[in-house]
Amino acid sequence: MDTFTAAERSEIMRRVHGKNTTPEKIVRSMLHRLGFRFRLHDKNLPGNPDIILPKHKTTIFVHGCFWHRHSGCPRASTPATRQEYWLPKFRRTIERDAENQARLRNAGWNVIVVWECELKDRVRLGEKLSMLIHGTL
């Protein structure tokens, strides 16, 4: 059972955006502090990656655990109502993510996925990003 009214839920969902999200801004800030320079949202690349590091031939997707179904994460819960809507939507998102990542890898790009829940430990995430980008992980 939803704890919000239909109008409240509609307002919450209206504010969800696909670009320049808070988690994305946190990762960009972290990359900048680590000395990386990047571009944003290249529409010419499969999946329109959130962050592109051309010098390192690396793309970064910053995924919300709920929307992109982070396996084993408590944030990836499935709503109890309207599962006939949610389950196909989640399935298609997972398929689309896998397709886009495969296309990028086949084109020679390194693909990094940062999950929303990974932002809790910023030191660990910074180390992971640096190692992945430099190819030492």
Split at pLDDT 50, 70, 90, the class of 1 is low
Task: Give the span between the Cα atoms of 99 and 96, in whole angstroms.
Answer: 5
Banded model confidence at residue 88, pLDDT cuts 50, 70, 90: very high
pLDDT for the residue numbered 29: 92
Phi, psi of 87 (to 5 degrees): -60, -50
Residue 36 lies in a domain: yes
pLDDT of residue 99: 97
| pLDDT higher than 90, residue 63 | yes
**Bridge partner list, 39:** 52
pLDDT at 90: 92
Report pLDDT digits (tens) over 9-55.
677 667 666 677 889 999 999 999 888 999 999 899 999 999 999 99
What pLDDT sits at residue 104? 97
113 falls within a domain:
yes
CATH number at residue 34: 3.40.960.10
pTM higher than 0.75: yes
For residues 68-76, give the mean pLDDT.
Answer: 88
Helix (H, G, I), strand (E, B) or coil at 17: coil
Among residues 75, 68, 58, 71, the alpha carbon closest in space to that of 93 is found at: 68
* Contact of 90 with 35, CB cutoff 8 Å: no
Q: Per the domain annotation, does 37 fall within a domain? A: yes
8 part of a folded domain: no
Q: Is residue 78 part of a domain?
A: yes
Q: How far is CA 11 from its chain centroid?
A: 22
**Tell me: the pLDDT tens digits for 108-135?**
999 999 999 999 998 888 888 888 787 7
Strands of 17-92 (E only): list them. 39-40, 51-53, 58-63
6 or 18, higher pLDDT: 6
Residue 48 has a pLDDT of: 93
Residue 9 within any structural domain of the chain: no
52 is a domain residue: yes
- Provide the CA 49 distance to its chain's centre, in angstroms: 9
Q: Which residues contact 73 (CB under 8 A, 6 or more apart)?
A: 65, 115, 117
Host domain of residue 115: 18-134
Number of domains the chain contains:
1
State yes or no: pLDDT of 136 exceeds 90. Answer: no
53 within domain boundaries: yes
